[in-house]
Homo-oligomer: A and B are copies of this chain.
């Protein structure tokens, strides 16, 4: 618990003014090599490191890219890995921020206001709840909100992904296929619902509203929906969930109800977070390239920072079904 070394300490030690220290440290012109040396010596001796906060208040550039997430869970963690990977060797620091109030809408607006214009040069927002963010720094959204996006966005092809899931289940012989929906405010979740219906239609299976549950990407909500669906007089033989978290909840509920997975119930998730493979049995799921989502966002943000005026870009990456242990043909009746 020592007081930070400030630029004043360095100035005093080197016998120059704080302005000179600033110039020397930041390599500005107009300082004699001799003075620079003296200052740098003092910097080293004192272990001085400029305060990010203070310097960001005066200068426009901080060299920090912010990633705003609602929470650090498997999905956002993968994105962060992708962002970190893409940012290494670019000279940019990475700052990930999660507000204490993870609830409700508009967390990203709050976080953004608190950080932008000052601390970070640009922001990557993951699964934002509002579309209408205004900011004084470049922004790109990953897995964005429904509605018109006025910022560049990066997401996966959720529609096709959902179709892949349903198609796979149909191929296995399933006809009664349930769906646990995601967060209705996210474009990706809506696309997965459409993909589910398109998949059914392609197989000539009539859509049954009773087989659609509300999951909202929340463990408890998904569990409740699963319970309700499995208690149906004519329950589904397979369920497709809009994300892995929900899919894992379904498996949990199925087991609690005495069903064997995949013998009595097949389950397919979406995302392929690392945890999906670890589950027992390992989860069949639609993989979306989460790290690449992060990396693509970095690419755009860097371009924006470099002054390239991209049109409101929209990037969509492909998905792929990964068959594991939670899917099998339906039991003979």
Q: With A and B bound together, what is the CA distance between A278 and B274 in angstroms? A: 7
Q: State whether the Cβ of A116 lies closer than 8 Å to any Cβ in chain B.
A: yes
B47 touches A109 (CB 8 A): yes
Which among A52-60, A232-240, A247-255 touches the partner chain? Answer: A52-60
Q: Tell me whether A81 and B88 are in contact (CB under 8 A).
A: no
Interface presence of A299 (CB below 8 A): no
Q: Which of A56, A90, A91 has the most CB of B within 10 A?
A: A56
Q: Does A17 contact B (CB under 8 A)?
A: no
Which among B1, B5, B87, B97 is the interface contact of A113 at CB below 8 angstroms?
B5
| A313 touches B (CB below 8 Å) | no
A122-141 contacts to B, CB under 8 A, are: 134-138
* A260 interface hit (Cβ, 8 Å): no
Q: Which of B81, B98, B100, B118 contacts A91 (CB 8 A)?
A: B100
CA distance A145 to B77 in the complex (A): 25
A64-99 residues with Cβ-Cβ distance < 8 A to B are: 71-74, 77, 80-81, 83-84, 87-88, 90-99
Is the pair B92, A100 in contact by a Cβ cutoff of 8 Å? yes
Cβ of A110 under 8 Å from chain B: yes
What band does the interface of chain A fall in when counting residues whose beta carbon is under 8 Å from B?
35 or more
Q: Which residues of B contact A88 (CB under 8 A)?
A: 71, 100, 102
Query: How many Å from the CB of A15 to the closest CB on chain B?
Result: 22
Q: Does A148 contact B (CB under 8 A)?
A: no
Which B residues are in CB contact (< 8 Å) with A110? 49
Cβ-defined contact, B80 with A72, below 8 A: yes
- Residue A316 at the B interface, CB < 8 A? no
| Chain B, Cβ-Cβ closest to A63 | B100
Residues of B within 8 A of A52 (CB): 114-115, 118-119
B114 touches A49 (CB 8 A): yes
Q: Which residue of B lies closest to A274 (CB)?
A: B274
Is the pair A2, B135 in contact by a Cβ cutoff of 8 Å? yes
CA distance A99 to B50 in the complex (A): 14
User: Do A94 and B98 touch across chains, with their CB atoms under 8 A apart?
Assistant: yes
Interface residue ranges, A against B (CB under 8 Å): 1-5, 47-54, 56-57, 63, 71-74, 77, 80-81, 83-84, 87-88, 90-100, 102, 109-110, 113-119, 134-138, 273-278, 282
